[in-house]
Chains A and B, each alone.
Chain A
Amino acid sequence: MSTIEDAWSYLTTAQNWTGANGITTSTFDGGWTWANDSIIALGIEHMLMSIAAVTIAAILALPLGVYLGHVRKGGTATVIVSNVSRAMPTLALLTLFAASAIGFGNKAVIIAAAIFAFPPILTNSFTGMADVDPDVRDAARGIGMTRFQIATRVELPLAVPLIAAGLRTSSVQTVATVPLAALVAGGGLGVIINTGIATQRYGQVLAGGIIVAVVALTTDAVLGRLQRRVTPPQLRAVAAAAKASA
C-alpha cells in the first residue's frame, strides 16, 4: 500500500517534474544537458531520442521498402531481417554498441533503437507496394503511365495505409525501447525507474513505470488517430486487416 502512496507523492511533488535546479544542468565542459531529476526534462529527452531513432530508420527503410516493393524483389530478405531483429535482444545491441567505439550514452541508444525501428517500416512499405492489385497496375500501364508514375501515383497512395501502420508500430516500439537507455548510462524516462531500483525507492519505480506506460499508450493512441486520418475511408478495411495479421 505504501508503495502506491510513495508513487503518488512522487508524482504529485512539483520538484520531481521541474527538477531541483531547472530542467537543464550545465556540464563541466560548459555545455548543458537534461536534468536527471526532472520528469519533464527526461520526457523531452525521451521524445527527442525516439524521434531521432524513428527518423533515421524511416529515411533508410522507406525508400528501400518502397523500391523493393515496387520491383517486387527481396520479399524473403525483408522477412529474414524482421525475424532476426525479433530474436536479437535490444539489450544485447545496446551493450554491444556501448562497449564499442560508439560508447556509452544516448548515441548508442539512438542507433540501437533505429535498428529495431527499421524492420516494421521496411516490411510494411514493401508489403504495401507489392500487394497492390495487379489489375490496377495493369490498368495504369494501359493508360500509358511510366513505371515511375505507376510507383508514385498508383502504388504509393494505395500503400499509404500500410506504410502508416508500419511507422506507427515502429514509433511505439521505439518509445518502449528507449527506457532501456538508462541501463547504458543514457537519458530518457527509464532513468526514473533505474534510479528508483538502485536506491530501493519502489514508489519511484512504480511512478516511473506508470509514466513510461502512459507515454507509450498515448503515443500509440495519437499515432493511431493520425494513421486513420491519412487512410482514405475506402482503404480502412485494408488497414484493419493488415493490423489483425501483424
Chain B
Amino acid sequence: MDAPPNPWFSWQYLERNWSEVVDALVIHIELTVLAVVIAVAISLPLAILARRIPRLSGPIMGFTGVLYTIPSFALFALLAPYTGIGRTTVLIGLVIYALLILVRNIVVGLEGVDPDVVDAAKGLGYSPTKLLFSVELPNALPSMIAGLRLATVSTVALVTVGVVVGYGGLGQLMFRGLQSDYRAQIATSALLCLALALILDVLLLAVGRLAMPWNRPQGKRGSRASRQAARTQVESAS
C-alpha cells in the first residue's frame, strides 16, 4: 500500500486552512503582547524598588531566580488546578517568566548607571523622582530594551507550551498536526513562530534605536548625525 503524500510544506494546506492559521497566529500575538505589556507594568516598579531599597534587592532577585528555574510545563500544571485550563493560566505563566527576565535586566541597567552622572544630577538639585525619570531610566534604557527583546522572543516560544492546558496559539496547531501526523501543519506553525519572534525582535530593536538616538552604532555616514544627537542630548540635560 502506498503511503499518502505527507509533505513538509503545502500551499494547499495554507489556502484551505487560512482562517484557522490566522486565528492561531492572532491568539499567539495577543498572548505575547499582553503578557509582555503586563510584565513590563509589574517589573518596572519592582526593579525600581529593588534598586531603591537594597535590602529588598536580594530577596527579589533570589525569588525571581527560583521561579525561573521551575519548568514552564510544571508551572502551567501548578496553576491549572486553580485558574482552570485555558487563557488565564497561560497568560499568568507567560507573565511570570517575562517578569523575571525584565526585572533582572532593569536592575542591571539601573545598577550600571554611571555614579558620576547620578552625582552630577544630584548636585544640580534633581529630586529623586526627577533623577529617576530623566537620568537613571534613560541611562538604563539599553539594558531595558535588551531585556524586553529577550523576554518577547522567549515568550513567543513559550506560548506553545500552553498546549498543556489547551491554549497554545500556534502550538495548538503543531500539536494537532502531530496527532493527525500532518507535517505541513507542524512545519507551517513552527515557521510562523520563528518568523513572529524575528519580526517582534527587529521591531523592538528599531524602537530601541528610535528611543536612544545617542546609542546608535557609529557608522561613517551617521557619525555626524549621532554626534549632533549626543550634543543636543547634553544640552537638553543641562
- Taking beta carbons and an 8 Å cutoff, which residues of A are in contact with B? 3, 83-84, 86-93, 95-96, 98-100, 172, 175-177, 179-180, 183-184, 190, 193-194, 196-197, 202-203, 205-206, 208-213, 216-217, 220, 244-245
B85 (CB) vs chain A CBs: closest residue: A197
- Whether A213 and B71, one on each chain, are in contact in the complex, defined by CB atoms closer than 8 angstroms, is yes
Given contacts A179-B74, A216-B70, contact A91 B201 (CB under 8 A): no
Which of A91, A93, A179, A184 has the most chain B CB within a 10 Å cutoff? A91
Q: Which residues on A sit within 8 Å (CB–CB) of B159?
A: 89
A91 (CB) vs chain B CBs: closest residue: B160
Q: Bound complex: CA of A86 vs CA of B97, how far in Å? A: 14
B181 (CB) vs chain A CBs: closest residue: A99
- Whether A90 and B161, one on each chain, are in contact in the complex, defined by CB atoms closer than 8 angstroms, is yes
Given contacts A86-B154, A91-B175, A197-B164, contact A216 B69 (CB under 8 A): yes
A202 (CB) vs chain B CBs: closest residue: B81
- Whether A206 and B163, one on each chain, are in contact in the complex, defined by CB atoms closer than 8 angstroms, is no
Q: Bound complex: CA of A93 vs CA of B73, how far in Å? A: 16
Q: Bound complex: CA of A23 vs CA of B186, how far in Å? A: 34
Q: Bound complex: CA of A7 vs CA of B81, how far in Å? A: 10
Which of B77, B161, B187 contacts A91, CB < 8 Å?
Answer: B161
A84 (CB) vs chain B CBs: closest residue: B194
* B171 at interface by CB-CB < 8 Å: yes
Q: Bound complex: CA of A216 vs CA of B161, how far in Å? A: 17
Complex A-B: 16 CB contacts under 8 Å: A84-B194, A87-B193, A91-B161, A91-B168, A91-B171, A95-B178, A95-B186, A175-B71, A176-B72, A184-B178, A193-B73, A193-B77, A196-B77, A211-B74, A216-B74, A217-B69
Q: Bound complex: CA of A80 vs CA of B73, how far in Å? A: 26
Given contacts A3-B81, A91-B171, contact A193 B187 (CB under 8 A): no
Q: Bound complex: CA of A86 vs CA of B158, how far in Å? A: 10
Q: Bound complex: CA of A3 vs CA of B171, how far in Å? A: 27
Q: Bound complex: CA of A200 vs CA of B157, how far in Å? A: 26
- Whether A212 and B77, one on each chain, are in contact in the complex, defined by CB atoms closer than 8 angstroms, is yes
- Whether A89 and B71, one on each chain, are in contact in the complex, defined by CB atoms closer than 8 angstroms, is no
Q: Which residues on A sit within 8 Å (CB–CB) of B175?
A: 91, 95, 183
Q: Bound complex: CA of A39 vs CA of B85, how far in Å? A: 24
* B91 at interface by CB-CB < 8 Å: no
* B212 at interface by CB-CB < 8 Å: no
Q: Bound complex: CA of A210 vs CA of B80, how far in Å? A: 13
* B78 at interface by CB-CB < 8 Å: yes
Is chain A's interface secondary structure helix, strand, loop, or mixed overall? helix
- Whether A92 and B193, one on each chain, are in contact in the complex, defined by CB atoms closer than 8 angstroms, is yes
Q: Bound complex: CA of A99 vs CA of B185, how far in Å? A: 11
- Whether A212 and B82, one on each chain, are in contact in the complex, defined by CB atoms closer than 8 angstroms, is no
- Whether A86 and B153, one on each chain, are in contact in the complex, defined by CB atoms closer than 8 angstroms, is yes
- Whether B78 and A209, one on each chain, are in contact in the complex, defined by CB atoms closer than 8 angstroms, is yes
* B197 at interface by CB-CB < 8 Å: yes
Which of B77, B181, B190, B193 contacts A209, CB < 8 Å?
Answer: B77
* B38 at interface by CB-CB < 8 Å: no
A194 (CB) vs chain B CBs: closest residue: B164
Report B175 CB to chain A, min CB distance, Å.
Answer: 7
Which of A88, A193, A202, A244 contacts B164, CB < 8 Å?
Answer: A193
A218 (CB) vs chain B CBs: closest residue: B69
- Whether A91 and B74, one on each chain, are in contact in the complex, defined by CB atoms closer than 8 angstroms, is no
Q: Which residues on A sit within 8 Å (CB–CB) of B78?
A: 206, 209-210, 213
Q: Which residues on B sit within 8 Å (CB–CB) of A193?
A: 73-74, 77, 164
Q: Bound complex: CA of A96 vs CA of B75, how far in Å? A: 24
Q: Bound complex: CA of A127 vs CA of B93, how far in Å? A: 32
- Whether B178 and A216, one on each chain, are in contact in the complex, defined by CB atoms closer than 8 angstroms, is no
- Whether B73 and A92, one on each chain, are in contact in the complex, defined by CB atoms closer than 8 angstroms, is no
